[in-house]
Amino acid sequence: MAKIDALTKLEKLTCITPASALVLVATKDKNGTANIAPIAFLSMVSTRPLKLLVCISPRARTTKNIEDTGEFVVAIPTPAILQKAYDAQIKAADGEDKIAKLGLTAYDGVRIKEAAANIVCKVDWIKEGGNHKVICADIVAADIEEGLYTPDMAELRSSLSRIFHLDGNEFLVDGDKVRAEK
Ligand SMILES: Cc1cc2nc3c(=O)[nH]c(=O)nc-3n(C[C@H](O)[C@H](O)[C@H](O)COP(=O)(O)O)c2cc1C
C-alpha cells in the first residue's frame, strides 16, 4: 500500500495517534484552593500496582499544584458537563476556587460529584517531556456513579461516554461531533 508522509502532511500528528478520552484533572494548591483543568494526554501505565500518567504543561497551575501537594484527581466527564469541561481551561485568579466557579461540586478532597467517575492519584515521579511534564502517579482510590456501574466490562465501557477533543471547541461525543460554546 502507498503511504504518504504524515509528519509533513498533517498539521497535528495527534489526529492519527490513538486519542485518549478527555478528562478533568482536579487539584488543590498549598493553601487548599481547588483547581480543575481539561486534559487530553493520559495513559494507563501499570495494572499491578495501578499507575497512570498525565502530561501537563509546566505553565499550568495544575502542574504546580501537583508538584506542591503530590496529589490529584482524574475526573471522567459526562456529556452533561462537556461545556464546563471546556470552560475549565480558563485561568482562575489567585485564591479563586475554579471548581466552584464552574458550578461543579467537590467532595472528599477534589473528587467531582458531576463526574461519571473519579480516580484519586498520588505522584510517583515527574519528568520533563518536551513542552509537557510527564506525571506518573499511583492510583490510590476510585469511584464510579452507581447508575453507570455494571460488572460486565463491555457494558461498563459503553455506559461511560467517550469524549474526544478534536480541535478548538470541537469534540467527538460517542461518535457525534459536538461544539462547546466559546
Ligand atoms: C479539550 C482540552 C484538552 C486539553 N488537554 C491538555 C493536556 O493534555 N495537557 C495540557 O498541558 N494542557 C491541556 N489543555 C490545556 C489546559 O487545560 C490549559 O492550559 C488550562 O489553562 C490549564 O489550567 P490551569 O492553569 O488552571 O491548570 C487542554 C485544553 C482543552 C480545552
Average pLDDT by consecutive 10-residue portion of the chain (182 residues)? 83 79 97 98 96 98 98 98 98 97 98 98 97 98 96 93 93 96 95
Q: Which residue lies with its CA nearest to atom 16 of ligand 1?
A: 89
Residue 99 has φ and ψ, to the nearest 5°, of -65, -50
Mutate which of 57, 97, 135 to test ligand 1's pocket (most atoms within 8 Å of Cβ)? 57
Atom nearest to 60 CA in ligand 1:
25
Residue 5: the pLDDT is: 86
Residue 67: the pLDDT is: 98
Quote the ligand 1 centre to 53 CA distance (angstroms). 15
Name the amino acid, one letter, at 18. Answer: P
Q: Which residue lies with its CA nearest to atom 21 of ligand 1?
A: 89
Residue 9: the pLDDT is: 77
Residues facing 73 on adjacent strands: 26, 120
Residue 152: the pLDDT is: 95
Distances (CA, A) of 123 to 12, 25, 99: 29, 13, 21
SS3 at position 166:
strand
**DSSP structure class, residue 106:** E
Burial class (CB in 10 A: 0-12, 13-18, 19+), 123: middle
Show the cell assigned to 85. Answer: 469541561
Quote the ligand 1 centre to 153 CA distance (angstroms). 30
- Protein residues whose CB sits closer than 6 Å to any atom of ligand 1: 22, 35, 37-41, 55-57, 60-62, 86, 89, 91, 132, 165
Domain boundaries along the sequence of the chain? 17-179
Q: Which residue lies with its CA nearest to atom 2 of ligand 1?
A: 38
Half-sphere exposure of 120 toward its Cβ, with a 13 Å CA cutoff? Answer: 14
Atom nearest to 59 CA in ligand 1:
25
Contact yes or no for 148/135 (Cβ under 8 A):
no
Q: Domain 17-179 is classified in which CATH homologous superfamily?
A: Electron Transport, Fmn-binding Protein; Chain A (2.30.110.10)
